[in-house]
Chains A and B, each alone.
Chain A
Amino acid sequence: MNEKPITILYIDDEEHNLHSFKASFRKQYDITITASVVEAEEILEKKDFCIILADQRMPVMSGVQFFEKIRLKFPKPIRILITGHTDIGAAIDAINKGEVFRFIDKPWDYKYVETAISNAYEIYKTREDLKQRNSELQKANEELDKFVYSASHDLRAPLMSVLGIVNLALLEEDVQSQNEYLELIRQSVKKLDTFIINIIDYYKNARGVPVVTDISFDELVTEVQATIQYLPEYGNLKMTTDIDQSGNFQSDVMKLRIIFNNLINNAIKFQDKSKPDPYVHLTVRSTPTEARITVADNGLGIKESDQDKIFRMFYRAGATNSGSGIGLYIVHEAISKLEGQISVSSKIGEGSVFEINIPSIRK
């Protein structure tokens, strides 16, 4: 069992009880003891406890009074009252009011206390787990909300653009300029299609079962290049590759394709057209244990303040020519799933370098 030990705070004005309790249970639990309710409060400020045990009969304040006092400020620990038979009325009252979970009557018996603690801890743990699940669920819901909001925008915006162009074209008497409008419709439809493909990639990456095969980086890069070189945005960009693969590298080819595709497409999209020789250079160094991939370009570059945000879902850096903000998020997700890392260094006007490390998956 490598779970954290159960933390217990025990308050009793009789020092003798404190020490005998500690002696009996110190091997099982992480125990803190104090004879003073004032000190107990100070201790609670500093340390988290799963369970608090308090004696009912104490000077200054009774156990129930102490629980009442701390309950709102420290709601997490489960409260157990230790009491002599004479106090039974107070104990029952306390349980009914919800101040305490259990009471243990004096003189206590080892087994009985152990059971009470383990039951209390079960409640504590269930509550904590529930809280954890709740916050996870809340986070997932927020993400889903954001996803639906942004996705609906990215699905609708190009369609509304097309509708706007159609409205405009209907007003146009000059047939020649109709062609110009058709070209705009084509681009807008293409944008929508790219977004849909991205969403499907994202979904496959997030939910799909990974298929691990031997990877040939030469083949993969050639394949990716073939799909992009006829893109109209390709322009004068020069793409060079330097691939050095020794031995077998195993990974999920779908995810690698998503990574290469998005990074190279970004280099194309954000190339600096004012430069005479825009380029993107792809380097792969692959061994049987890991692959190091670098995608370097002399494009527009990424503002420093944006560099830590570009991998977030739907974050769009820059105002011109930006996409939906999902591409690099998918890249980041795919790399995380492959247990790799990605980093970026970039300077505005000079270019960007993406560096990726991915371990080989052993079947």
Chain B
Amino acid sequence: MKPLLHFCLIDDSAFDLFIYEKLLIKSGITDTVKTFNSAREALKHLLTEGSVLPETIILLDLQMPDMNGFEFVDEYANLPGFLREKVKIFMLSSTIDTRDIEKAKASPHIIDLLPKPLEVSYLKNRLSL
């Protein structure tokens, strides 16, 4: 059996962190979810973990104060390759703005833009699980 995935949630909304942590665990897709209410903190976490960082799926909110989702991706793009290889980024946002959607689609670092509320079955599909 394949080992369970590690998840990392980045969202300034405490509600959404709570909801999606529970939902992911309940769905059985994972048993390890790390939550960050600031993108900057999450970035720090990636750097401190460094070589011991497990393969991680990041669900990234878009509109956040201080550092938003796209700004996080810009910083991520500058990380060393061995770190980037371990991370898959999905954007998870309630945005319906076409510019946001196009920007997310165009980014080579964002696998997909998932609309809120998260549909775990769709995510599983995208991860070919």
Q: Which residues of A contact B (CB under 8 A)?
A: 149-150, 152-153, 156-157, 159-161, 163-165, 167-168, 171, 184, 187-188, 315-322, 325
Bound complex: CA of A325 vs CA of B26, how far in Å?
A: 34
Q: Is the CB of A164 within 8 A of B116?
A: yes
Bound complex: CA of A163 vs CA of B23, how far in Å?
A: 12
Task: Tell me which residues across on chain B come within 8 A of A188, comparing CB atoms.
Answer: 15
Task: Tell me which residues across on chain A come within 8 A of B65, comparing CB atoms.
Answer: 315-319, 322, 325
Q: Known: A161-B19, A319-B12. Is A167-B38 also a contact (CB below 8 A)?
A: no
Task: Tell me which residues across on chain A come within 8 A of B116, comparing CB atoms.
Answer: 157, 160-161, 163-164
Bound complex: CA of A132 vs CA of B47, how far in Å?
A: 49
Bound complex: CA of A164 vs CA of B13, how far in Å?
A: 13
Q: Say whether B107 faces chain A, with CB atoms less than 8 Å apart.
A: no
Bound complex: CA of A320 vs CA of B35, how far in Å?
A: 13
Q: Is the CB of A184 within 8 A of B15?
A: yes
Q: Known: A160-B117, A171-B26, A318-B66. Is A184-B37 also a contact (CB below 8 A)?
A: no
Q: Which residues of B contact A (CB under 8 A)?
A: 12-16, 18-20, 22-23, 26, 37-38, 40-41, 63-66, 94-97, 115-118
Least CB distance, B123 to chain A, in whole angstroms: 13
Q: Known: A317-B65, A318-B65, A319-B38. Is A164-B97 also a contact (CB below 8 A)?
A: no
Would you call the interface of chain B mostly helix, strand, loop, or mixed?
loop
Bound complex: CA of A229 vs CA of B97, how far in Å?
A: 38
Q: Known: A157-B13, A160-B117, A165-B19. Is A319-B66 also a contact (CB below 8 A)?
A: yes
Q: Is the CB of B12 within 8 A of A164?
A: no
User: CB < 8 Å: which of B20, B37, B95, B115 contacts A153?
Assistant: B95
Q: Known: A160-B94, A184-B15, A188-B15. Is A319-B64 also a contact (CB below 8 A)?
A: yes
User: CB < 8 Å: which of B14, B23, B40, B66 contacts A164?
Assistant: B23
Bound complex: CA of A187 vs CA of B38, how far in Å?
A: 21
Bound complex: CA of A267 vs CA of B22, how far in Å?
A: 32
25 sample A-B contacts, Cβ–Cβ < 8 Å, listed by A number: A156-B95, A157-B13, A157-B116, A159-B94, A161-B16, A164-B15, A164-B19, A164-B117, A165-B15, A168-B22, A168-B23, A171-B23, A184-B19, A187-B15, A188-B15, A315-B65, A317-B66, A319-B37, A319-B40, A319-B41, A319-B66, A320-B37, A320-B38, A322-B12, A322-B65
